[in-house]
Amino acid sequence: MSDKLKILYIDDEPDNLTGFKATFRTQYRIFTAENAGQATELLQKNPDIRVVFCDQRMPGKTGAEFFAEIKGAFPLPIRILITAFADIEAVISAINLGNIFRYIRKPWIEQDIISAIEEGNKFYVANSLLSVKNDELQKAYTELDKFAYSVSHDLRGPLTGILGAIDVAREMSDINELRDLLVLMEKSVFKLEDYIASMHDYYSSRRGELKISDIDFNMVAEELKDFYRIYTTTNKISFQTVVRQPEAFRSDELMIKMILNNLVTNAIKYQKRNFENKCIDLNISVYDGLATFLISDTGIGIPESHFDEIFNLFSRATSLRAGSGIGLYNVKSGLLKLGGKIEVSSVLGEGTVFKLIIPSK
């Protein structure tokens, strides 16, 4: 069985190795080595070895020396020394140096070994969890730094814009000038509102639990079209949807809507100005438990050199349009949660196609 814990035992006496293996082979997967060289080789080939036992008295190198040596290259496996009473000094120093987890007196009894493996394994699991948590924490800190930047840019920026406008407006007497200013102030307020909405998406796409249910993509597409009708009519954009769903599909509907909303908003926002035939096409097809979405637009396009970074937090590919650089990041982290993936292809000045594949749950 492959899910048995992997244990390595090093001893220069072949009889001891055979005895150890015979005693524990039903409970654990046992690897044995007669010297340090063989042991290192086994550790290299089996990085998931959990616990290493080593005899203290071996020709050439003591067990304590061997452990001190491998600690750097193989920090994860739990190291346990097997030793006779006479070597107690070496044991104490090895423990104090942090080179061994505990020691077992020779001749060992079965119960001592089993308890050492169980305790060692608990320690191993706790350590691994800790390092996973550490990585997550590091990532969270990096994002927090980005937020600190974003607070002054995306929250404070529109506010200082409005404040400045109020200051200028005090001295204005021309009503038409004031109206122009109001339009700009309104834009700043919308920007703030957008930002707050995408912050909300950000948290739900990262922290929220998935709510899996049956999804009818015909309804989803109709809702999208209804929702964006005001924008598409006023901007003269033709928004077409085609749905082929011959089978049931299960996933988190809100998450999929968040993803589609972001992509459709982008498709509207990044249309070419003064272009006659503005289009957005959404094509959804479900086959063999996979939903494929194609969203294509006749927009300004994305330079190929930016394909890799557009999904990063606060990344912006153009200065021509308003945007916070969070939308596509939310799309990507939402997809990650659903087990889906996204591809982008684009021709500058002609348009962009996003292709998404999401598996049914």
Interface with another protein (CB under 8 A): 149, 151-153, 156-165, 167-168, 171, 180-181, 184-185, 187-188, 316-320, 325
280, 238 contact by CB (below 8 A): yes
Closer residue to another protein in complex, CB, 57/316: 316
> Measured on CA atoms in the order 227, 232, 233, 239, is the torsion positive or negative?
negative
Query: Strand runs (DSSP E) across the chain, as ranges?
Result: 6-10, 29-33, 51-55, 78-83, 102-105, 212-214, 237-244, 250-252, 278-287, 290-297, 341-347, 351-359
Least distance (Å) from another protein to the CB of residue 188?
Answer: 5
Least distance (Å) from another protein to the CB of residue 274?
Answer: 17
Closer residue to another protein in complex, CB, 104/181: 181
DSSP label of 86: G
Least distance (Å) from another protein to the CB of residue 249?
Answer: 37
Closer residue to another protein in complex, CB, 19/157: 157
DSSP 134-153: HHHHHHHHHHHHHHHHHIII
Instruction: Tell me what percent of the chain is helix, strand and coil, each rounded to the nearest 5.
Output: 50, 20, 30
Distances from the Cα of 287 to the Cαs of 156, 251, 284, 350, 360, in angstroms? 47, 14, 10, 30, 10
Least distance (Å) from another protein to the CB of residue 206?
Answer: 24
Least distance (Å) from another protein to the CB of residue 136?
Answer: 26
Closer residue to another protein in complex, CB, 89/171: 171
Least distance (Å) from another protein to the CB of residue 88?
Answer: 55
Burial class (CB in 10 A: 0-12, 13-18, 19+), 44: exposed
Least distance (Å) from another protein to the CB of residue 6?
Answer: 50
Closer residue to another protein in complex, CB, 18/160: 160
Closer residue to another protein in complex, CB, 132/322: 322
Least distance (Å) from another protein to the CB of residue 170?
Answer: 8
Strands 278-287 and 237-244: parallel
123, 117 contact by CB (below 8 A): no
Phi, psi dihedral angles at 57 (to 5 degrees): -90, 105
Distances from the Cα of 194 to the Cαs of 74, 109, 235, 283, in angstroms? 49, 68, 19, 26
Closer residue to another protein in complex, CB, 99/324: 324
Phi, psi dihedral angles at 337 (to 5 degrees): -65, -35
Closer residue to another protein in complex, CB, 257/316: 316
